[in-house]
Amino acid sequence: MPQWIAACAADDVDPEDVVPVDHDGHAYAVYRSPDDTYFATDGHCTHERELLCDGLVMGTTIECPKHNGRFDYTSGAALGAPVLVDVRTYPTKVEDGTVYVEVP
Amino acid sequence: MTGVVVVGAGECGTRAAFALREEGYAGPVTLVGAEPGLPYERPPLSKSGELVPLCTPERLADAGITLVAGVPVTALDVRAHRVALADGRVLGYDRLLLATGARARPLPGAHVLRSRADAEALRARLRPGARVGVVGGGFIGLEVAAAAAGLGCAVTVVEAAPRLMARAVPARLAERMARRHADAGVDVRCGAGPVRVQPGTPSRIVPADGEAVEVDVVVAGIGSAPETALAQAAGIAVDDGVAVDTGLATSAPDVLAAGDCCAFPHPLYDDRRIRLESWRAAQEQGAHAARALLGAREPYAAVPWFWSDQHDLSLQVAGLTTAATEQVVRVRPDGAELWFGLEAGRLVAAAGLGVGTAVARDVRVAELLIARRVAPDPAVLADPSAPLKPLLRAPARASG
């Protein structure tokens, strides 16, 4: 059953940045876009399982910290070699200064 | 219609073949590799040892790329626009890409590590308790040392120079990595001078300066040399690598070169001709060459970038550390260290060392600063509480 989990405080993420969130042994990455919208993806790159939260956010792109594979974190779309597989995204909402992520 | 022939099916050649399709090229693409099997990633060979293919047969088929694997190219006729293969075939081309890579410098009596076959031969010898002697304290040698120590081998590293990774890594970070190796039980001996190997059971590593070391297995990681024989025999200009212009074109018409085999003038470093042995450069130059094969003319100007994993630490280097005349160090609260190299105020190189991917973001920002020719305030670079990303908003300097 999908459920909403409290992932982090909205202020924990700077604009155009990312933080790691762990829930039930699964790593997620929570992003705040330059226009203050929140997004969530799987925490690991689809290429060689590096942690995306150590990567650099530029605009709406997250870049893998090891091999520079890039994803659009708003859609999960892989943006070219070396990443070939999209990263999974999850719905988010913000309530009372807390970011919630809907996990399966 | 004879299409594009790519000589070399490593990271660079394979990326170029796929990039031709991504760029909309519809003609024949033939990818010729001297090694048997599917193209694969080389970086894991000296680390986890895992075999990671670059693509599946299905992806090659879907992209309409003809892979000729296990067949060296023996001759290139640039006037007739054709290559001869070791199996007797002759392929004509409209455009040719040389992505022949590099080969490990050999040391008689020692394993080397470049290919899957090299890695398999070495892995079979890395049994728990085996005494492993690594000649050369560069990236490959030290990654093998860390992997061997992790497999329970007793490892000795013998480096000719006074310190490890002297060619591309700042001394401070190299010293920290040396301590990490020592903590893991690796016996690191620098300043050994030239080394020879007496093969046998056991083998002996005999340095010019220092004691001989008795080991069961010897591995040499003493650099690589560009594969230029094919180009040279074809009359193409070679200058420590196949000489190319900023658009990766060689001296022969319709022949480009990219990746480890080529030496190119770098606009960020006074157009000095450099040759990189780098996974990322191989990829980027492969993609760049694909666009150039189709007529694009923009210069290749990406910032050189390397990484190395040793034990639990990862090192990343952006830019050319040798171009720096001043240095600034930042020590972060998490213990990760960053090194910045400046030349006349401008950031020209950066390096970071930390656990896992801890330094990746900072080194990536530094790489962007280098590309934009930014002259950051050294006090900001040194201050671990000052984020680096805002420096990207500084106006870029005019190029030139």
CB of A27 less than 8 A from some CB of B: no
State residue B334's pLDDT score: 93
Q: Which of A48, A51, A81 sits opposite B283 (nearest CB)?
A: A81
List domains and CATH numbers for chain B: 4-103+224-293 (3.50.50.60), 116-220 (3.50.50.60), 312-393 (3.30.390.30)
State residue A65's pLDDT score: 85
CB of A68 less than 8 A from some CB of B: yes
State residue A1's pLDDT score: 81
State residue B397's pLDDT score: 59
Q: Is the pLDDT of residue B16 over 80?
A: yes
State residue B400's pLDDT score: 41
Minimum distance, in Å, between the CA of residue A98 and any CA atom of chain B: 24
Residue range B169-194: mean pLDDT, rounded: 97
pTM of the shown model: 0.91
Cβ–Cβ below 8 Å for A56 and B361: yes
For the stretch B312-355, pLDDT in tens is 999 999 999 999 999 999 999 999 999 999 999 999 999 999 99
Paired residues of A92 in beta bridges = A101
Comparing B48 with B222, the larger pLDDT belongs to B222
Candidate from A57-71, B37-51, B337-351 with smallest mean pLDDT: A57-71
State residue A81's pLDDT score: 72
| pLDDT band at B395; cut points 50, 70, 90 | low
Minimum distance, in Å, between the CA of residue B306 and any CA atom of chain A: 10
Q: Is the pLDDT of residue B105 over 50?
A: yes
Q: Which of B280, B314, B389 sits opposite A68 (nearest CB)?
A: B280
Cβ–Cβ below 8 Å for A65 and B280: no
Cβ–Cβ below 8 Å for A65 and B52: no
Record the tokens describing residue B300, joined without a space.
């290749």
Cβ–Cβ below 8 Å for A54 and B287: no
Residue range B129-138: mean pLDDT, rounded: 98
Q: Is the pLDDT of residue A29 over 50?
A: yes
CATH code: domain A3-103 is 2.102.10.10
In chain A, where the domains are located:
3-103
State residue A69's pLDDT score: 85
Minimum distance, in Å, between the CA of residue A25 and any CA atom of chain B: 19
For the stretch B365-375, pLDDT in tens is 999 999 999 99
